[in-house]
Amino acid sequence: MANKLQQPPHLHLAELSATQFIDIWNHFDTDGNGYIEGKELENFFRELEISRKGAGVDPSNSTFKEKMKEFMQKFDKNADGRIEMSELAQILPTEENFLLCFREFVGSSSEFMAAWRRYDTDRSGYIEANELKGFLSDLLKKANRHYDDQKLHEYTQTILKMFDLNGDGKLGLSEMARLLPVQENFLLKFQDIKLTSEQFSAIFTFYDKDGNGYIDEQELDALLRDLYEKNKKEVDTKNLTGYKKSIMALSDGGKLYRSELEIVLCREPML
């Protein structure tokens, strides 16, 4: 715990390497839940102000609270009162901001899902370290970023450090999707209504009436609407069309198999 109390790393730098960005993230996301929130957020903003002004800052001061509010309005794109990794990438000047390459590589959730499907070759719901390297290599090429093997290795290790919480060398879909722009990250929209395996099994069986192990786009539409109603959430038809398109990007010629949909709707396995 001692290292959490040390001087925050690298905030004073004009430009951060990918690794330094992660050091900062890990320093402030003390509980490792993938968000800087509550007390963590206050600490982060205080240290950011100190690094910019080179002087102490009093969080109880009303001006501090006002500035923090303005700061959140600017950077908390989904207005959930906390900062996630893709939002922090916009705040801090990361070296040729490799995180923002994702924006250029995957302009939408459906492109992200199609890319995921291409690299998760064994349909395990995870991308292993070697598959991740290929994914990042293509990403950097498409974004016209120059990189060498060492840089590619650093980026791969950086992303693993970000997300591979149990150290097994592979990443889950919803973890990787945290790098998408917040407005586009349809997977985040399902965070509140994630299903257990039993709930998912029951709902999939209900819609896969002929028991052939897959559903089509119309059945997916009904399934998602059902899910929203059960969770007392408003169904926005425009958003639903986008979510459906994104999920269908995982399908095999219009057939959405159980394992594909499970990746999106089920809770991550307990770490």
In the chain, where are the structural domains located?
Answer: 6-96, 101-182, 190-265
**What letter represents residue 247's amino acid?**
I
CA distance 253 to 242: 18
| pLDDT tens track for 164-219 | 766 778 887 767 766 665 555 666 666 566 678 888 888 899 988 888 889 999 88
pLDDT of residue 170: 82
Average pLDDT, the chain: 77
232-254 mean pLDDT: 78
With H, G, I as helix, E, B as strand and everything else as coil, classify residue 249.
coil
- Helix 258-265 to helix 237-248 angle (10° resolution) is 130
Distance CA 188, CA 43 (A): 25
Topology adopted by domain 101-182: Recoverin; domain 1 (1.10.238)
- Identify the helix (H) or strand (E) that includes residue 214: strand 214-215
> Are 6-96 and 101-182 in the same CATH fold?
yes
Provide the token pair at 14: 């004009």
How many other CB atoms are there within 10 angstroms of residue 147's CB atom?
19
* Chain position carrying tokens 């509980």: 31
Superfamily (CATH) of domain 190-265: EF-hand (1.10.238.10)
- The C-alpha torsion from 140 through 102 and 29 to 65, rounded to 10°, is 130
Per-residue confidence band for 40, with pLDDT thresholds at 50, 70 and 90: very high
Say which residues have a Cβ less than 8 Å from residue 191's Cβ, sequence separation at least 6.
174
pLDDT surpasses 90 at 226: no
For the four alpha carbons of 110, 115, 116 and 121, in that order, the dihedral sign comes to: positive
Angle at which helix 197-207 crosses helix 217-230, to 10 degrees, equals 130
What is the Cα 10 distance to its own chain's centre? 23
pTM: 0.54
Which of the listed CATH numbers 1.10.287.3510, 1.10.40.30, 3.90.800.10, 1.10.238.10 matches domain 6-96?
A: 1.10.238.10
The answer to whether 9 and 23 have CB atoms below 8 angstroms apart is yes
